């Protein structure tokens, strides 16, 4: 299958390829032996942040209090 690069360095991947991968939004891009390798990734940064906050025992009220404190100029 061919994919054409546009003047803005954009590629359109064949629909059959994307569909077989579950229609990912992001790809990790690497060069291996002169080839471009695209690996689908799922960005779950929000989940990672929530898990970290939970592990630290930080809740929504703590975040609100911190924002209020910062807006007042801190100590």
Give the model confidence (pLDDT) of 18-67 as tens digits. 899 988 888 999 999 999 999 998 777 788 888 889 999 999 999 999 99
Q: Answer yes or no: is 11 within a domain.
A: no
Q: Check: CB of residue 56 under 8 Å from CB of residue 48.
A: no
Q: Is pLDDT at 75 greater than 70 in this prediction?
A: no
State the total domains in the chain. Answer: 1
Q: Which domain holds residue 68?
A: 16-75
Q: Using DSSP, state whether 20 is helix, strand or coil.
A: helix
Q: Answer yes or no: is 21 within a domain.
A: yes
Q: What is the pTM of this model?
A: 0.51
Q: Answer yes or no: is 72 within a domain.
A: yes
Q: Answer yes or no: is 65 within a domain.
A: yes
Work out the pLDDT band at 74, boundaries 50, 70, 90: low
Write down the pLDDT at residue 1.
85
Q: Answer yes or no: is 8 within a domain.
A: no
């Amino acid at each position: 299958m061919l994919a054409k690069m546009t003047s803005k360095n954009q590629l359109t991947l064949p629909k059959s390829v994307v569909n077989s991968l579950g229609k990912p939004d992001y790809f990790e891009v690497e060069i291996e032996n002169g080839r471009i390798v695209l690996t689908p990734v799922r960005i779950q940064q929000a989940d990672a942040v929530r898990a970290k906050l939970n592990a630290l025992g930080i809740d929504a009220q703590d975040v609100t209090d911190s924002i209020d404190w910062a807006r007042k100029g801190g100590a």
